[in-house]
Structure 1
Amino acid sequence: MITQKCRKFFAVFFIVVQICTVSSQSTVDDFISTTNLPNEDKLLKEPEQKENSLSIILSEIQKIQSNTANIELKLKKNDEIIARQNAELENKLRLLKMQVKEVNKANEQLIDYENQNTALNATINIKNEEISKLEKQINENYNERMETEKEHNSKISDLTNRLDECQRELEEKSELSERLYNCETKNNDVSYKLTDTEEYLEYTKSKLRECKTTNGKNYTETENEETPKPLAESLPSFCLNLTAGIHKIQIPKGRVSDVVCDGDGWMIIQRRINGNVDFNRYWQEYEDGFGDLNDEFWFGLHKLHLVTSSAPHRLRILIDGQGASSYNFRIGGAGEMYKLYKIRNYTDDADKYLFFNNDEEKFTTYDRNNGPGYDDRNCANYGYGGWWHSNYCGLNPNSQYDDLNRLVDSDRYGIHQITMMIRPSTNGY
């Protein structure tokens, strides 16, 4: 339809152009002469017809112009729509190309994955074969282990029975050991008395020999001569009025012993200087005493019991040569495991070292735990030496020395030397 209107438009336009061309000439006659009109009547009628057709043509031209403008607007809008669609198509084309590239890459990766999967499947098959072999070995080992366990269980049952028998034997031996210990204690007392008797006999024999050679007279012939005293009776019982050094004294129950006196009435019962003597010892050694009286030593629990039970005694402790604490001091006998009786600070000063924060405890060594705790909590098992230990494993005078030549657990005070000494007290217990 648009093509037909365009044709009409161009036809009208051509006629208008012709009219304008004729009007531009000088006269209508010239126009008539130039156009071979047939006759005048016809020409007279034609202007009216032409005017009518011209008005029709002009109205048609106006319609055509209006339609043309509308068509141009629509064409312009269509061009814009086409341009936008072309741009969108180009974008979609670019995206499609990118997607094609990605698909190609994905296909390549898929091919690689397929190759890898093939290799993995081959590896899995190999591993499955190995697993099958291992399962077979495990089953064989399990059967062997079950047989071995049966043998072990049988052996364990036999060992358990033997252990029960040993336990019963141990209990019987423990009773025998206790009885033997009591017998040894009595034997020690007898031995001490026998030693004193032997020393007394030797002393008596020497005096008899002296008497026989005096003025040619025999001891039996001497009249009004004083009978010599036994050795134990002629010795002092304490270090009172004795000079500093080693002396023999009479311990209660007739025993004679070498002791170290300080020259001021104190008898030294323990001395630590440099760690030359190991104080982590057996029960029997602590009971009897050990060490060198000229160096480091422990006097002995049995002798301490005899001395402190015979009369009230005072205990003094020196730290690096300086007086630290003073106590009223007494311990029980072997039957009480040398129990530490209530300690009272003699000077009423604060005991910063806490040597005796365990009143009424029994003496403990690493081979005989008489404390309140189990063996695994026995302080003597941790290198603290024999002492009246409780659950508190603090500093005590019998601790071992550390690498800095200090007593164990004395870091706060740095104790290098320690001395314990006793003498009779006038204040009582």
Structure 2
Amino acid sequence: MLLFFSCSNKVIVFTVFQVSKSDCFLAKDCSDVYACGYSTSGVYSVSSVDGPLQVYCEMVSGGQMTEDTGRYVILRRMNGEVNFFRPWKSYKWGFGNKGGEYWLGVEFMHQLTRYKLRVDLEDFEGQKAYALYKSFSVDSEADGYKLHVSGFVDGGAGDSLSPHNGMKFSTFDKDQDLLGDNCALKYYQGGFWYKNCYYTNPTGNYLWEKDNRVTNTGATWYYWKKSWNSLKSISMKIRRVK
């Protein structure tokens, strides 16, 4: 299905899930897509240094339009459909299903400036919480895609990401953590800004069971309930700071 609206006196054509490129407009990010009149969450094309990039834009937060409407998802875990035990190249450029589980790619995260981050969590009992960070950025590959995150605001989840601040990105075939062993390879089978090793591991093995005896190997966020138990869902979303 095609949807039409005008922006700057020109017509832009959308499918239900994807915004098409036009001579009028190619969004820099999801907030641009929303500002140009499109308010349905879905997969859109935005611009990057390397050309058009497919991202999932979340246009509604908590069922209502807010000043944070127009985030785009850089990570989503929800059902285990995608294997996250992948090499450096995959984590650099991204992988997965933009409408489901996926990782945007640290190279594209590096290209972003002046962004804030929201992390949404849900456990297997249906309880939800979130964490906000007023500043989020990633250094270049030459600097190991080092993470910079600050300005934590608690939405009930606690702060499990700040302990990773200043860390380089690691995968099973590129170890840049501070542990003698490779965190990604030996323990957690994902890719992340591991230290020695982690307080959150959103790219760990997806565990379908809600068995609390299964710990340390799943998609976790420790400071929510002070637990290493795997989560049912975890997503990381960013929006440009005005």
TM-score, structure 1 as length reference: 0.41
Is the contact between residue 366 and residue 385 of structure 1 (CA under 8 Å) also seen in structure 2? yes
Task: State the match for 2:146 in structure 1.
Answer: 339
Sort the Cα spacing of 1:302 and 1:232 in 2 relative to 1 into closer, same or farther, 3 A. Answer: farther
Task: State the match for 2:176 in structure 1.
Answer: 370
Is the contact between residue 274 and residue 405 of structure 1 (CA under 8 Å) also seen in structure 2? no
Unpaired runs of 5+ residues, structure 1, are: 1-229
Task: State the match for 1:277 in structure 2.
Answer: 82
Counterparts of 1:255 and 1:233 in 2: how far apart (Å)? 16
Q: Of 273, 276, 300, which aligns to 2:105?
A: 300
Deviations 1:13-66 (A, max 9, x none): xxxxxxxxxxxxxxxxxxxxxxxxxxxxxxxxxxxxxxxxxxxxxxxxxxxxxx
Instruction: Give SS of 1:363's match.
Output: coil
Counterparts of 1:322 and 1:350 in 2: how far apart (Å)? 8
Counterparts of 1:316 and 1:267 in 2: how far apart (Å)? 10
How many Å apart are 1:291 and its aligned residue?
0.4
Is the contact between residue 365 and residue 386 of structure 1 (CA under 8 Å) also seen in structure 2? yes
Sort the Cα spacing of 1:262 and 1:383 in 2 relative to 1 into closer, same or farther, 3 A. Answer: same
Counterparts of 1:289 and 1:233 in 2: how far apart (Å)? 28
**AA of the residue aligned to 1:417:** S
Task: State the match for 1:248 in structure 2.
Answer: 45
Is the contact between residue 275 and residue 405 of structure 1 (CA under 8 Å) also seen in structure 2? no
Task: State the match for 2:27 in structure 1.
Answer: 236
Is the contact between residue 202 and residue 219 of structure 2 (CA under 8 Å) also seen in structure 1? no
Higher helix share: 1
Counterparts of 1:326 and 1:390 in 2: how far apart (Å)? 21
Task: State the match for 2:161 in structure 1.
Answer: 355
How many Å apart are 1:258 and its aligned residue?
1.1
Give matches, 1:20-419, under 5 Å.
Answer: 234-240=25-31, 241=34, 242-243=38-39, 244-251=41-48, 253=49, 255-263=51-59, 264-307=69-112, 309=113, 312-320=114-122, 322-327=128-133, 328-341=135-148, 343-347=149-153, 352=158, 354-374=160-180, 377-381=181-185, 382-402=187-207, 404=209, 407-408=218-219, 411=227, 415-419=231-235
Is the contact between residue 219 and residue 234 of structure 2 (CA under 8 Å) also seen in structure 1? no
Task: State the match for 1:17 in structure 2.
Answer: none
Is the contact between residue 219 and residue 230 of structure 2 (CA under 8 Å) also seen in structure 1? no
Sort the Cα spacing of 1:412 and 1:387 in 2 relative to 1 into closer, same or farther, 3 A. Answer: closer
Q: Identity rate of aligned residues, in percent?
A: 26
Counterparts of 2:184 and 2:55 in 1: how far apart (Å)? 27
Counterparts of 1:405 and 1:413 in 2: how far apart (Å)? 8
Counterparts of 1:289 and 1:254 in 2: how far apart (Å)? 13
Deviations 1:54-110 (A, max 9, x none): xxxxxxxxxxxxxxxxxxxxxxxxxxxxxxxxxxxxxxxxxxxxxxxxxxxxxxxxx
Larger Rg: 1
**AA of the residue aligned to 1:318:** D
RMSD over aligned Cα atoms: 2.5
Counterparts of 2:147 and 2:167 in 1: how far apart (Å)? 6
Counterparts of 1:398 and 1:345 in 2: how far apart (Å)? 23
Is the contact between residue 279 and residue 399 of structure 1 (CA under 8 Å) also seen in structure 2? yes
Task: State the match for 1:23 in structure 2.
Answer: none
Sort the Cα spacing of 1:293 and 1:349 in 2 relative to 1 into closer, same or farther, 3 A. Answer: closer
Sort the Cα spacing of 1:413 and 1:254 in 2 relative to 1 into closer, same or farther, 3 A. Answer: closer
TM-score, structure 2 as length reference: 0.70
**AA of the residue aligned to 2:95:** F
- Count of residues in correspondence between the two structures: 190
Task: State the match for 1:210 in structure 2.
Answer: none
Is the contact between residue 316 and residue 323 of structure 1 (CA under 8 Å) also seen in structure 2? no
Is the contact between residue 245 and residue 262 of structure 1 (CA under 8 Å) also seen in structure 2? yes
**AA of the residue aligned to 1:245:** G
Is the contact between residue 270 and residue 297 of structure 1 (CA under 8 Å) also seen in structure 2? yes
Is the contact between residue 333 and residue 339 of structure 1 (CA under 8 Å) also seen in structure 2? yes
